[in-house]
Structure 1
Amino acid sequence: MKHLSTKACAYGVVLLLSHMIAAHAMLDPIDFLALQSIRKSLNDLPGSNYFASWDFTSDPCNFAGVYCDGDRVIALNLGDPRAGSPGLTGRIDPAIGKLSALAEFTIVPGRVFGTLPHTLSQLKNMRFLAISRNFISGEIPAGLGQLRSLQTLDLSFNQLAGSIPFSVGNLPGLSNVILCHNRLVGSVPPFASRSLTRLDLKHNYLSGSLSPVGLPPSLQYLSLSWNKISGPVDRVLSRLNRLNYVDLSSNRFSGCIPGNVFSFPISNLQLQRNEFSGPVQPLDQVRIPTVDLSFNRLSGGLSPLFSTVQNLFLNNNRFTGEVPGSFVDRLLSASIEILYLQHNYLTGIEINPTVEIPLSTSLCLQYNCMVLPVQTPCPLKAGRQKTRPTAQCIRWKG
């Protein structure tokens, strides 16, 4: 009986080994070993069971997040993609570079830390690289500029430092670059891709000025807010006539705002908290729903072409003269929802003091060179002073 039991056990081991060999034979051995290394360097956060299916006695092409074409891994989406899932922790193993057929690599939000492996530059077929909302640190490897097929690069909401490699800007097929909410420094590199539609670099420490030809006309979404970028943008913006969203707020941009930008198909134009100066003259009636030019050094009279804007922020500038009657008409018809003109040098507005401003409209006129004809609630940041001191008005007018 003991002899039979031993033979049965040996037979079972042979069957198990045969099964493992057959399963592994479905995947390239190099890819198989790379997946093992990647698994060892990452773990589920408490509450996640993403790696439960990663049993290396079975076919890795059936693992959660692993997609194969033949015997090669072509996509690796690590972590449970459902919103609110706990995500993963650990590091990205350099063995990722061994998956030479990999075209897509993503990691869901979690607590993955450490640096980006330089071996990522070996993935010549990579088209989609997205590792956002984790704790990735260090610099963006310049070797990513070797990924000539890369279309989407999303490394947002991490702790990346250093500059954006110029080699990345030279990639010919980029369509989406999302590097916001990091600690990046240096200048915005010129982008060579003629198909780049989204560039999101907000909330970094970028500085320097923008190259007049550094951003391609294909751009539709541009966000550079909360950086330290300076210099003029008139030659940059005037070329980007496909933009539908622009946020350059909270920088140090200077010079004039080109009039043709107000004719672009933009839904939201955010240019506040910069150092823009001079008059603002749209070329035609402005159809942009939201325009924010507040906290700049803009001067001259208010163009009546702005009266068609639903939410208009012109406060904290140096505008002079009277508020055009077209603004009043649009206010009273409730076509304007927000009109902030406080903290300028405006001298009047023709509005009947007894008229009722629609409840859906928010109007603020305080701290100008006029006696307020109507009393309307203003934001707390506007302060308590209703009228600008006469001496300031005389000095500015003079």
Structure 2
Amino acid sequence: MASTTCLHALLILTLQLCFLSNSQAAKHSHSSSTSRSGRHHHHSSSSSAFPNPKLHQAYIALQAWKKVIYSDPYNFTTNWVGPSVCNYKGIYCAAPPYDHTIKVVASIDLNGGDIAGFLPEELGLLTDLALFHLNSNRFCGIIPQKISNLSLLYELDISNNRFVGPFPHVVLNLPTLNYLDIRYNEFEGPLPSELFSKKLDAIFVNNNRFTNVIPPNFGVNSASVLVIANNNFGGCLPPSIAKLADTLEELLLINTSLSGCLPPEVGYLYKLTVLDVSYNNLVGPIPYSLAGLAKLEQLNLAHNMMSGVVPDGVCCLPNLANFTFSYNFFCEEEGICKNLSSKGVAFDDRRNCLPDKPLQRSNKVCQPVLEHPVECFEQHCNSSGVGGGSGAFASISSAMPVAAPLLSPSNAPSYT
């Protein structure tokens, strides 16, 4: 009971902080939504049954939503009956910044409900919503356009559902959005460049069906976490990634069909703790600039076509705990790289071209690669494969194993 009370108190505190940080937007939302409230009529409860018009609007929205929920195995919405919406399971109320004498619906948390249905346009009536969490359900269809009315929305998590269609551009119209998680759905097509122009702290778009290339303005936002793994982008990692130097802490680009060389600008990300570019088509050497990532804890370069020397400067990083560079074509390890276990670093150097190391590639496979070193300054990016690489890499790429998908959000360990 004590832990439940503390959790509820923490949630209310989080909501109040979200409200306070967006008070100016709240005033606008209040005035616009009040004018809208007069155009909506109650369905089964008189407006006089509600403490304020905002809760009446919430009732209309939640009842409309309940009607398009087809399966609710854990009975999340069973008690969504009557005007006391603040007592509905998964619905949390708090005082908005523009009026501390009332309560409004400030948060929805239906995570792990296994609920099937879709999202109705009436959800746009919840104009004071700050947190919207629907992780691990079976919601399908597209994201309704009326979601753009949620001018105070701070966190949107619709991950691990069955949403479809192109990237939901409506989220780009949410002025106070800080956290976006749309992973493990069926979104497809290109990522809009506008996504990386928004001031978002965390972006999770992994495990969808996004294609095309990573937008060239990839690094112009202020994110601390970027996860775009398990999509089919192709092309190179844009040098603009350097613009995230003051904020980015975790960058996961697993299995995104990246090609070309890893740009030296990655080494400018001095706050980085996690860098994972495994299961791609990257070629060339490890940029020595990575030796400047003093906070780096996890580095995964596995299952690419990189070659050259594993530099001592990277192996000596003070916080490095796990370094995986297996299934590449590295031919030499400098200094401490030859014995990372003595430094307490977990490592995997299998299936390279390292002399006197076990479980390496055969000389027949390694020799063509070693005879045609990749010059990164000659590389030219494209969206269909390795840009400017030698024929030796092209012939080997077909034998590279396919990446396993990341764990679903309900099972995956948190990186944050």
TM-score normalised by L of structure 1: 0.70
Aligned residues: 316
**Cα 1:267–1:97, aligned 2, differ >3 Å: closer, same or farther?**
same
SS at structure 2 position matched to 1:213: helix
The answer to whether the aligner puts 1:255 opposite 2:284 as a matched pair is yes
How far apart in 1 are the matches of 2:114 and 2:369?
Answer: 60
**Cα 1:76–1:392, aligned 2, differ >3 Å: closer, same or farther?**
closer
1:64 aligns with 89
1:94 aligns with 121
How far apart in 2 are the matches of 1:298 and 1:260?
Answer: 17
Deviation at 1:254, TM superposition (A): 2.7
Contact 2:312 2:333 in 1 (8 A): no
**Cα 1:224–1:336, aligned 2, differ >3 Å: closer, same or farther?**
closer
Letter paired with 1:277: S
**Cα 1:186–1:90, aligned 2, differ >3 Å: closer, same or farther?**
same
Letter paired with 2:313: L
2:264 aligns with 235
How far apart in 1 are the matches of 2:113 and 2:57?
Answer: 30
TM-score normalised by L of structure 2: 0.67
Contact 2:264 2:289 in 1 (8 A): no
Contact 1:23 1:58 in 2 (8 A): yes
Q: 2:244 aligns with which of 216, 220, 225?
A: 216
**Cα 1:228–1:366, aligned 2, differ >3 Å: closer, same or farther?**
closer
1:181 aligns with 207
How far apart in 2 are the matches of 1:67 and 1:388?
Answer: 63
* Structure 1 residues 9-51: Cα deviation after superposition (integer angstroms, max 9, x where no partner): xxxxxxxxx99554324342333322221221224433x1111
1:139 aligns with 166
1:365 aligns with 358
> Which structure 2 residues correspond to residues 283-298 of structure 1 after superposition, within 5 A?
283=313, 285-287=316-318, 288-298=320-330
SS at structure 1 position matched to 2:148: helix
Contact 1:67 1:73 in 2 (8 A): yes
How far apart in 1 are the matches of 2:129 and 2:279?
Answer: 39
**Cα 1:253–1:72, aligned 2, differ >3 Å: closer, same or farther?**
same
Contact 2:154 2:177 in 1 (8 A): yes
Contact 1:27 1:61 in 2 (8 A): no
Contact 1:201 1:225 in 2 (8 A): yes
Farther-moved stretch of structure 1 (185-194 vs 200-209): 185-194
Q: 1:206 aligns with which of 209, 233, 242?
A: 233
**Cα 1:270–1:62, aligned 2, differ >3 Å: closer, same or farther?**
same
Structure 2 portions without partners, runs of 5+: 1-43, 96-101, 373-416
**Cα 1:341–1:38, aligned 2, differ >3 Å: closer, same or farther?**
closer
More strand by share: 1
Superposed CA RMSD in Å reads 3.2
Greater relative contact order (Cα < 8 A, sep 6+): 2
SS at structure 1 position matched to 2:116: strand
The answer to whether the aligner puts 1:54 opposite 2:80 as a matched pair is yes
More helix by share: 2
